[in-house]
Structures are given as structure tokens and as C-alpha cells.
Amino acid sequence: MIDVVDCHAHIFPPLREACGLPDTETHLLFQQRAMHTHGNQPVRRRRDHAIVEARHLWDGTDPSEAGRTLEVDFRVGRMGRFEWTVEDEDYYVQFLPPSLQDMHFAAEALVAQMDYAGIHTAILQNDHIYGDLADYFAAANVSHPGRFIGLANVDEAFAYRDDQLEVLHRCVGELGMRGLYYTLSGFFRNGYDTNFTHPRYFPFWDAVAALNIPVFWVFLGDSPVGGFVEEMGLFRTWLERYGQIPSVLVHGIPTALYADGDDRVQLPDAICQILTQFPVYSEVLYPIAWGGRTEYPYTRAQDHIRALYDQLGPDRLAWGSDMPNVERYCSYRQSLSYMDHCDFLSDADRRKILGGNMRKLFA
């Protein structure tokens, strides 16, 4: 029996609430920005569910808070949808599965799903679209001991401030969070006028290093700092100074970016060096990324996992689901069982990728 650890899962209270943020308006700000940048699910017109190109939610030339469109009545809907209105026409993004009627996914709901799928532990990632949830995660740890590993988060753009250092220390020291979730999307708060490698952030990263916790990084692949290549360049700069801090690439390496016309994946040397010369792990969670375009058991994904395995080995890969979001495309059990079709993996490899590497990381 493999001790399965899901390295990417979520729980959250009803998303219409402040959910640990200062107020509901601040939460809506983060949610509206997320729906503007979200690319996995399309925008649909509500009256006929037709896909439309326009996003309506942000000025595409201004990534700062000032670029937010205020006249669209952006709101948290029901049945997994975020909604807004333009000229009496309603639009939505199906961000969560339709089964989430009240936009709420409690700890007990995830535990029931984990029990059914044969998953022992889930790492709870803490994105602002769900709120700032360290207190919520801490309560879940009390109710379900041993089932969750919670990640802290801070206001990334302002992580250099004393108040954010206090948040970090409280999350780890008082609430028992065991890692940090850190997304580049948070830099819309300062209009991307600096990034995480700037010297003003060194005291924050020094504190993370002193706490001896890993960082789960969300690189966007398309942001004001550039594409994935440019983001990895910044990450390499950060690693040269903070290479002792373990890191996890949330959503993993976008292997399709490095596939040729025959879909053969060859990672650049710079990517391989990051994953082999530093304590950096890549998530493996293809159903959430490709589930809207390919069918279970995701044969193409198996080929891409094989490329990662051949070039990086099994020690830097970690399976994850993105539950409950993944149920837009498949069941929780299927988001795990497609890995059974990777027949090139030995039993020892499976134990590492499906949980052992994360157990070692958090040991």
C-alpha cells in the first residue's frame, strides 16, 4: 500500500465571505483579477453558454489595481461560477465544478473524497482567490489530525513589510503551517513594479530560510515579467541566493512548451539544472491542465510524464490533483488512477512520486 500524498488540494469556506481577508471587497478584488488572468476555462455568455473572447474584467494595458473594471457587477455566483454583467448581458467562468452549489468545500468533504480515492494526506495550497486561510487550515488540522499539511500565504507584493513578516511568523509559529504558498499573480497589487528578487524582499526570504520551510511557487507563464522562460530566469537568480530553501513548482513544468512537432519533450539545460542542482520539485497534475482537451486516461500526459522521468528522474516529481477544481474534468480517483498507466515507473518510483518525495520534503 502506497502512502499517497496529494501535493495540491484546497478547502475553503463559502467564497462570498471575506475568508480571512480584511473584508469581502478585498476578496472580490483578488477573485476578479484571477478570473481576468485564468486561461484554463473560457468565458461564457450565460443566456446560451456560448464561448466569448472578451474578458471585460481588467484593462489589459494596466496590470495594477487601477486597471480593474468596476462597472461590471463582478460577483461570486453559484454552481462553481464567477459571474459579471456587461450592458445587461451576463457572463461567467466555470472555475469550480458545478457540484459546488454554494462555492464551499469543507475539510470533511475533502477527507471523504480522500478516503474514497485512497489518499492519506493532502497539502493545502493557499491562494488569495480562496482567501487567506491559515486559520481555517489550522482548524481543519485539529478536526482531522494527520490528514492535512497547510501552507501559509502573505501579500506577495508587500512581503517586505513588517506586517507581512508578522503574518508569516504567526502562520508558521502559532497556526502550524508548514510551508509557504507564493504566487507571482499577487504582484498586480504593486503593478509589477518590483519582483521577488529585489533586495527589499531579502529580509522576508531570510525569515523563510530561518523557518526552514519550503516555498510552493506559482509561475504564470504569461505576465508583465514575461513568459515562463523569463520567470525561470528570475527564479534562477533567486536560487543563487536562496538555494538552500526547498521549492515546489505549482502546476509543474509546462512540458507542452518544450515539445516538438512530434510531441517529443526535451527540457532546456537551464530547466534541468534548476530541477537537479537545487532542491526544486515539479508537480505532476495533468488532468487539471489538459482535462478539457484530452480524455481519460490522458495518454499524451503519460508520454510527457515519461519525458520528465527520463530527464529528471523520480526524486523531483510530486503527484497532485488540484481538488476540487479537477472535478471539472474527472473524478478525484481518476486524477490519481491515470498514473497507473505509466507502466515505465517501478514500484519504488511510484512510492516517491505519489507521496514519498513530499514526505521527505516535510520531514
Type of residue numbered 63: P
Kindly tell me if the per-residue pLDDT of 107 is higher than 90.
Answer: yes
Name the DSSP letter for residue 53. S
Instruction: Give me the residues paired with residue 94 across strands.
Output: 81
Name the DSSP letter for residue 174. I
Type of residue numbered 16: R
pLDDT at 64: 95
| pLDDT tens per residue, range 227-252 | 999 999 999 999 999 999 999 999 99
| pLDDT tens per residue, range 23-49 | 999 999 999 999 999 989 999 999 999
| pLDDT tens per residue, range 64-102 | 999 999 999 999 999 999 999 999 999 999 999 999 999
pLDDT at 345: 97
CATH 3.20.20.140 domain locations along the chain: 5-13+101-361
The domain defined by 5-13+101-361 folds into: TIM Barrel (3.20.20)
Grid coordinates representing 22 are 480584511
Grid coordinates representing 1 are 500500500
pLDDT at 158: 97
CA distance 134 to 125: 10
CA distance 36 to 30: 10
Q: Are 287 and 329 in contact (CB under 8 A)?
A: yes
How many residues are recorded in the chain?
363
- Residues 210, 274, 276: CA angle, nearest 5 degrees: 95
In angstroms and rounded to an integer, the radius of gyration of the C-alpha atoms of the chain is 20
pLDDT at 31: 98
Whole-number average pLDDT of the chain? 97
Q: Which of 187, 268, 195, 281 is nearest to 238 (CA)?
A: 195
225 pLDDT band, cuts 50/70/90, is confident
CA distance 15 to 130: 6
pLDDT at 39: 87
